[in-house]
A and B are shown apart, each in its own frame.
Chain A
Amino acid sequence: TQLLEQSPQFLSIQEGENLTVYCNSSSVFSSLQWYRQEPGEGPVLLVTVVTGGEVKKLKRLTFQFGDARKDSSLHITAAQPGDTGLYLCAGKGGANNLFFGTGTRLTVIP
């Protein structure tokens, strides 16, 4: 099992603030994905990063893959209450399976 540590574990911020979530591992991944999960539902894919150093933007969300492909970050600008949820990074293993990070539970207060 390959471990991915996310930080912070919990984050509560006011609407309009910016935040960054980190995902770190000692393993190298061929690709890394970010998901968002609502209570009682399955995770929904936000983005996949493949190339070391890659940066992808999805509206107010910016994703970065580390140069060594061991870490990633998710930055949210001007957070909104609709951004509330559990954010999970996931690395793709050699058997095409996904190993999930420890998760970051974000709460955006109106």
Chain B
Amino acid sequence: GAVVSQHPSRVICKSGTSVKIECRSLDFQATTMFWYRQFPKKSLMLMATSNEGSKATYEQGVEKDKFLINHASLTLSTLTVTSAHPEDSSFYICSAPEVGVLGYTFGSGTRLTVV
């Protein structure tokens, strides 16, 4: 089946630095990717929709300048957490709809810890 590769799986960074998370669709083209954030023992919260070749659409309450999304090709979307703070520590997951299938494929997630 379709695979979305996400990395890094874990990252620890210092406050004030930026971290880039990548998601690649390995065997299909993803014109759209979704980015989610998940707090411990909580559900997934949709942050933004990434569209290839155009600006991302952010959900209400998500800072565009804080979470920069780039979808430069049909197989790659990136999320950059800028000027990270400890409250940005979370589990970030990307997903893409599978072509011809009603389901979505998810990356394996990135555990971000800001110290």
A and B pair up: yes
Which A residues form the contact surface with B (CB < 8 A)? Answer: 1, 31, 33, 40-45, 48, 50, 88, 95-103, 105
B41-49, B68-76, B80-88 - interface stretch: B41-49
A42 contacts across to B, CB distance below 8 A: 4, 6, 93, 95, 106-109
With the chains together, A98 CA to B42 CA distance in Å? 16
Given contacts A50-B102, A100-B45, 11 further A-B contacts (CB under 8 A): A1-B46, A40-B111, A42-B93, A42-B107, A45-B104, A88-B43, A97-B46, A98-B34, A98-B95, A100-B43, A100-B46
* Chain B 46-76 near chain A by CB (<8 Å), digits 1 or 0: 1001000000010110000000000000000
Q: Are A96's CB and B97's CB within 8 A?
A: yes
With the chains together, A43 CA to B44 CA distance in Å? 9
Interface of B is mostly: strand
Q: Looking at the assembled complex, report how far the CB atom of B58 sits from the nearest CB atom of chain A, in whole angstroms.
A: 12
With the chains together, A1 CA to B104 CA distance in Å? 19
Q: Are B49's CB and A103's CB within 8 A?
A: no
Q: Are A98's CB and B104's CB within 8 A?
A: yes
**Count: A-B pairs, CB below 8 Å:** 55
| CB closest chain-B residue, reference A103 | B43
Q: Are A44's CB and B106's CB within 8 A?
A: yes
Q: Are B46's CB and A99's CB within 8 A?
A: yes
Which B residues form the contact surface with A (CB < 8 A)? Answer: 4, 6, 32, 34, 36, 41-46, 49, 57, 59-60, 91, 93, 95, 97, 102-109, 111
A41 with B43, Cβ < 8 A, contacts A48-B103, A98-B95 known: no
Q: Looking at the assembled complex, report how far the CB atom of B86 sits from the nearest CB atom of chain A, in whole angstroms.
A: 20
A95 with B109, Cβ < 8 A, contacts A48-B102, A50-B102 known: no
Q: Are A95's CB and B106's CB within 8 A?
A: no
B6 contacts across to A, CB distance below 8 A: 42
